[in-house]
Amino acid sequence: MNERMNKLLQTAALGKDEGILIHKPSNMFYLSGYTGEGLIAAGHGFQAIITDFRYTEQAERQAPGFDVLMVEKGVSHAMLASELFAQHGVKCVRYEDDEVTVRSFEAIKEAIPGVEFASLKNAPETIRRIKDQHELDCIEEACNISCKAFDQLLGFIKPGMTEKQLQIKLEFLMLELGAEALAFNTIVASGVNGSLPHAIPSDKKVEMGEMITFDFGAKKGGYCADMTRTISLGQPSAEMKKIYDTVLYAQQTCEDMLAPGKVCKDIDTVARKIIDDAGYAGRFGHGLGHSVGIDIHEDPRLSQLCEDPLEVNQTITVEPGIYVPGLGGVRIEDTCAITENGGRTLVHAQKALLIL
């Protein structure tokens, strides 16, 4: 059993007669290296990937050390898990109650009779909060690719291009520079569209005098980058400049606060106060940041709901924004790593307002 699976058994305090089912793709990848479909069934002294013909060889290659069991006509994933659990005397199955659908759960209960079911209580995600060196290296590499792509994109941005054209160019550059995939759907929001925090790139043309927000990230080694930059095409209005300066000040102040032991909620409070005091109360309606890893949004969160202290080797984004309908918006975001000495940004793109 590998180190991460051993840690999972410990973190979940798995009893001798308990088993685990993992359905969440990000948890399967973290625990085994396997990226295909299916599930993991495990317990003390056994670990198996249950999948179908399309993925059996892939599972054997990606997850040596795991048994690979193949479903076939009339033999479902849950039936194979049931046999495995029966062989190992499992009386209680711990499963991801935030992932398994009601319908799948009913099918699992039917196929695995005579056992109890209980929540795994996000034990894998608890372990995933602290990144090891390999994970940090992947995230840093993903950030480097994203920064390089953005740097190259800057030379292409011209008035009259559409948001979609800019999105496609940026995504192409990330893939060309070595991204294996995109971490999430790229956001490009120009002018008045900047007030939409998660704008979908449209056919709107970018024009002189507008700000453009780019929120994007590459994926490398299975790990995500997350960064946002807002630039100005020509001179911005005085109001947009004030919004930019406010967001930048909030962003840099909070990034400078990052350190082990700092309570997540308190950092979010500082950003919110800077933005409220500048006259934009209510215009920063999302949390200040989130951890990043295999998934783009992981715990902990820099938000009013998170009282956890930051810990060494966590990652965290710092991404304040101001959104004013009818006018536009600004967001600036770095992905950072928490070190013993404070925060270390993994994003090195310019944050001072860039006027093209």
Residues near ligand GLY (CB under 6 A): 184, 215, 226
Of 11-19, 98-106, 226-234, 348-356, which part binds Mn ion (CB under 5 A)? 226-234
Q: How far is Cα 156 from Cα 56, in angstroms, rounded to an integer?
A: 44
**DSSP secondary structure letter of residue 276:** I
SS (H, E, C) 130-191: CCCHHHHHHHHHHHHHHHHHHHHHHCCCCCCCEHHHHHHHHHHHHHHCCCCEECCCCEEEEH
CA 53/CA 72 separation, integer angstroms: 8
In the complex with Mn ion, which residue's Cβ is closer, 32 or 317?
317
d(CA 40, CA 218): 27
Pick between residue 18 and residue 333 the one whose CB is nearest to Mn ion.
Answer: 333
* Nearer of residues 108 and 254 to ligand GLY, judged by Cβ: 254
295 binds Mn ion (CB under 5 A): no
Strands (E), 9-66: 18-22, 39-43, 46-51
- How far is residue 78's CA from residue 248's CA, in Å, rounded to a whole number? 51
Instruction: Compute CA distances 336 → 257, 277, 309, 348, 354, whole Å.
Output: 12, 26, 15, 10, 22
Is-contact 52 38, C-beta < 8 A? yes
Q: Nearer Cβ to Mn ion, position 18 or 125?
A: 125
CA distance 95 to 78: 12
- From the list Mn ion, ligand GLY, none, pick the one residue 46 interacts with, judged by a Cβ distance below 5 to 8 Å according to partner type: none
Q: How far, in Å, CA of 68 to CA of 332, rounded?
A: 45
Contact region for Mn ion (CB under 5 A) — 96-104, 119-127, 246-254, 309-317? 309-317
- Residue 226 binds to Mn ion (criterion: CB under 5 A): yes
Query: Closer to Mn ion at the Cβ: 163 or 333?
Result: 333
> Of Mn ion, ligand GLY, none, which one does residue 335 interact with (CB within 5 to 8 Å by kind)?
none
Interaction partner, residue 27 (ligand GLY, Mn ion, none; CB < 5-8 Å by kind)? none
Q: Give the total of residues touching Mn ion (CB under 5 A).
A: 2
Q: Does the footprint of Mn ion cover residue 334 (CB under 5 A)?
A: no
Compute the least distance from the CB of residue 74 to ligand GLY, in Å: 43
Minimum CB distance to ligand GLY, residue 288 (Å)? 11
User: Do 148 and 220 contact (CB within 8 A), yes or no?
Assistant: no
When asked if residue 317 is in the footprint of Mn ion (CB under 5 A), the reply is yes
Residue 298 interacts with which of Mn ion, ligand GLY, none, CB < 5 to 8 Å by class? none
Q: Whose Cβ is closer to ligand GLY: residue 105's or residue 184's?
A: 184
Where do contacts with Mn ion occur on this chain (CB under 5 A)? 226, 317
